[in-house]
Structure 1
Amino acid sequence: MAMGGAESKEADRQLRSASLNGVILPSSMELFFDPSWSKFKLHLLHSFSEPVYTFNLPEGWWGSLILHGGPTVDHPLLAAVRNTGESGTGNLVTLPPLGPGQEVLKEKMSRRRKGWMEIWSFAVPVPVPDRAGEEKVTATTTTTTTTRVERFEWVSTRGKEVKDLHEWGRGWKLRRVATTYPDAHADKGWDEDDEDDDEGDAAAYEYEELHADNEVLAVWADAKGLKSRKAAKFEFVNSGATGELGEAWALMAVVSFVRVWQRYMQIIVV
Structure 2
Amino acid sequence: MRQCSDRRKMGSSSSKPTQPIEISNKVACKGIPHSFDLIAGESWSYPSFYIAAPGSLPLYAISMPEGWAGCTILRPKTSIRGSPMVYAKRRHGKFRIYLPGVLSAGIMPCSATMRYETHTTEKYSFELMVYHGNSYRYEVFEWRYFEKEGNRSHGAASSGWKLVRLGPKMEKDVLPPYPGHAPPQQDHIAPPPYSKEAPSRRREVVAVLCHPSQGSSLDKSSACRFQYMGTGATEEIGYHWTLMAAMSGVCLWQHQIAKAHHGAT
TM-score normalised by the chain length of structure 2: 0.72
- Where does residue 139 of structure 2 map in the other structure? 150
Answering whether residue 177 of structure 2 is matched by residue 173 of structure 1, we say no
Equivalent position SS for 1:13: coil
Aligned partners of 1:58 and 1:65 also within 8 Å: yes
For the aligned residue pairs, the C-alpha RMSD in angstroms reads 3.0
Q: Distance in 1 between matches of 2:39 and 2:88?
A: 19
- Where does residue 80 of structure 1 map in the other structure? 87
Q: Distance in 1 between matches of 2:75 and 2:123?
A: 26
- AA aligned to 2:94 is G
- Where does residue 18 of structure 1 map in the other structure? 23
Q: Distance in 1 between matches of 2:200 and 2:115?
A: 18
- Where does residue 269 of structure 1 map in the other structure? 261
Gaps of 5+ in 1: 131-145, 184-209
Aligned partners of 1:216 and 1:237 also within 8 Å: yes
- AA aligned to 1:106 is S
Q: Distance in 1 between matches of 2:42 and 2:15?
A: 31
If you compute each CA radius of gyration, which structure gives the higher value, 1 or 2? 2
Q: How far is 1:70 from its partner?
A: 1.8
| Counterpart pick for 1:219 among 182, 186, 208 | 208
More helix by share: 1
Point out the more displaced range, 21-30 or 250-259. 21-30
CA separation of 1:63 and 1:265: change in aligned 2, threshold 3 A: same
Answering whether residue 89 of structure 2 is matched by residue 97 of structure 1, we say no
CA separation of 1:63 and 1:129: change in aligned 2, threshold 3 A: same
| Counterpart pick for 2:248 among 249, 256, 263 | 256
Q: Distance in 1 between matches of 2:243 and 2:67?
A: 22
| Counterpart pick for 1:42 among 49, 55, 67 | 49
Q: How far is 1:11 from its partner?
A: 0.9
Equivalent position SS for 2:85: strand
CA separation of 1:122 and 1:230: change in aligned 2, threshold 3 A: same
Aligned partners of 2:39 and 2:223 also within 8 Å: yes
- AA aligned to 1:7 is S
Residue by residue over 1:171-229, the C-alpha shift from the partner in whole angstroms, topping out at 9 and shown as x without a partner, is 1111111225x66xxxxxxxxxxxxxxxxxxxxxxxxxx99961111111111089822
Q: How far is 1:62 from its partner?
A: 0.9
- Where does residue 77 of structure 2 map in the other structure? 70
| Counterpart pick for 1:160 among 142, 150, 155 | 150
Equivalent position SS for 2:122: strand
Residue by residue over 1:68-114, the C-alpha shift from the partner in whole angstroms, topping out at 9 and shown as x without a partner, is 01221235311111123xxx442111111365687631111112135
Equivalent position SS for 1:224: helix
* Count of aligned pairs between the two proteins: 219
Identity of matched residues, %: 26
Answering whether residue 117 of structure 2 is matched by residue 112 of structure 1, we say yes
Equivalent position SS for 2:50: strand
- AA aligned to 1:41 is S
Q: How far is 1:23 from its partner?
A: 4.8
Aligned partners of 1:162 and 1:172 also within 8 Å: no
Q: Distance in 2 between matches of 1:262 and 1:19?
A: 28
Equivalent position SS for 1:177: strand
Aligned partners of 1:152 and 1:178 also within 8 Å: yes
TM-score normalised by the chain length of structure 1: 0.71
